[in-house]
Chains A and B, each alone.
Chain A
Amino acid sequence: MGRTGEPGHLRRQVLSKPALLREFTGKFDRMTRETLDHTTSLEVKRVYAYGCGDSHNAAVTTRMAFHKWADVPMEAQTSLEFARYGTPWLKTARPKKALSIGISVSGEVARTVEGLALSKEAGAYTLAITCNRASRAAKLADMTLDVTVPEMDIPRVRTYLATQIALYQVALRLAEVRGVISYKDGRTIRDQFDRAADIGEATHQANGETVRQLAQSIKDKPGYLFLGGGPNLGSAMFSAAKILEAEGSIAQPQDLEEWVHLQRFLKKTGMPTFLIAPPGLSYTRAVEVARVIKQVQAYLVAIVEEGEQEISAIADVTLPVKGHLPEEFTPLVYSDACEMFASDLADATGEPYFRDFAGPWATPDGDPIWFNELLAERDQLSLQDYSGKPVAPNA
């Protein structure tokens, strides 16, 4: 299969997530504590976490943990947004007080490397989260968290989880060092990772066959929508991403509220709409949105906590999550059913992952996500900031 995993590989990755959580959470905890020192942790006033694709999604899913545990604002951005539209103003706005976290599994995604380079020049502390210590991102950043885990074939799920764990650990580290939470609070938070693993395992068991049948029954639909709020907007993004990668159908993530403003008006009825709605700050809105989803005759797939009644009562299919987690932890399990669905959809249609990188999807000159003329020219040319003034070279 070349660059991609064997058929069914995606589902196997999903099923392996609980074991990965149990094996790597403690390791990443230790690594984060060894990497992020007290001075940096105490000085940080704002965190920027950015990446492309899965890496960006992981940042969105963990933003709430930074706010809730560490009481520090975190902005989850795409790498292009951060590098080109964020870093020009970092220097004057928040000198030496920003923690810039560039997330890239390969460490070579160009816009993420660019974000690290430009934010470092602007005076931010830079942290690379990557699976490649030899990469440009790792070499450039002040600090690196190496989140390498076994079995990283694409489409990837395990590296997404590894990245999430690392980001949660950064939030936890900031929270503890800054004294926002106590040692005991920290223990309680750490226990939730094991709990998420248990819930994930039970959820896979409960939904495995239902998801397979669902993929078979709606495989010919024109597209798939994934809705979530807060941290689970990231889950919705990641779910849609796996459909695109695994099967190639149109798949769109959307914020719960934005769906009411936009996709509600799709003229085609029966659109599969996966509503990710754990207990939490946007749950009551999810209930209201579910009613509208049914009103416009979309096909509602509910991903809710086991025992939930209001959305389940009107859903066409319910995929229950088998246990309760605090909302900031829910992204660890609430996209699992969607990820399995993506795998099963590819199996049902016979579509190869990433179109096998053949024909129009071939990349004979290298993957375009690695191209970066701006970085390539840096050694010869002074970077110009937005106002045209020369930017000081790295110290």
Chain B
Amino acid sequence: MIQRVPFETAKSTELVNVTDFVRQVVKDSGVQEGLCIVYSPHTTAGMTLNSSSDPATAEDILAEFDHLVPVRATHRHTLDTPADAAGHVKLVLVGNAVHVPIQGGELLLGKSQSVLFFEFDGPRDREIQVQILRQT
């Protein structure tokens, strides 16, 4: 079963905490033991697990990505915008999916961990796809 969760991002680059969406999908599935896959079906937006307790952490992460892959005019992909070209490269560094174990019907996240969606070229209409695998 794959559950699609649509949402809108609000900024050109941001980290969106989607943990509650994912928890709800796990809960609705009724699966007690298994694996949750959270997938971003985009080419300029990805997934990661990290802290969301201090918003400054997200700012640091995004700032470092901008240092690693600055938005510049010299990208070869010029059909879209410079931000879009940089977004494609940033996504390669992040990846499109995260996997979280399910135990006792709950996501087995660490105390400070959240499921975060990386927006690299927003704002846009986006979605995540959540797949629950039941342990047999």
Q: Which residues of A contact B (CB under 8 A)?
A: 30, 33-34, 37-39, 42, 176-177, 179, 182-184
Give, as a whole number of angstroms, the nearest-CB distance from B8 to chain A. 8
| Contact indicator B83/A33 (Cβ below 8 Å) | no
User: A183 near B79 (CB under 8 angstroms)?
Assistant: no
B4 at the interface (CB under 8 A from A): no
Q: Could you give 15 example pairs across A and B, Cβ below 8 Å?
A: A33-B78, A34-B79, A37-B73, A38-B82, A42-B73, A42-B82, A176-B81, A179-B81, A179-B83, A182-B123, A183-B81, A183-B84, A183-B124, A184-B123, A184-B124
Is the beta-carbon distance between A177 and B79 smaller than 8 angstroms?
Answer: no
Q: Quick check: A33 and B80 within 8 Å, CB to CB?
A: yes
Task: State which of A30, A38, A177, A179 has its C-beta within 8 Å of the C-beta of B12.
Answer: A179
Chain B residue numbers with a CB within 8 Å of A177 are 81-82
A184–B125 CB distance below 8 A: yes
User: What is the minimal beta-carbon distance from B125 to any residue of chain A, in angstroms?
Assistant: 7
B residues near A, CB below 8 A?
12, 71, 73-75, 78-85, 121-125
- Verify B125–A38 contact, CB threshold 8 A: no
Contacts of A179 in B (CB 8 A): 12, 71, 81-83
In the bound complex, residues from chain A placing their C-beta under 8 Å from that of B125 are 184
Among A34, A176, A183, contact of B123 (Cβ-Cβ < 8 Å)? A183
**C-alpha gap A37/B121 in the complex (Å):** 18
Are B124's CB and A38's CB within 8 A?
Answer: no
A182 near B79 (CB under 8 angstroms)?
no
Please give the distance in Å from A233's CB to the nearest CB on chain B: 32
CA distance A182 to B12 in the complex (A): 7
CB distance from A142 to the nearest CB of B (A): 15
CB distance from B43 to the nearest CB of A (A): 12
Contacts of A37 in B (CB 8 A): 73, 78
Out of B12, B79, B124, which one reaches A33, CB within 8 Å?
B79
Q: How far is the CA of A182 from the CA of B71 in the complex (A)?
A: 14
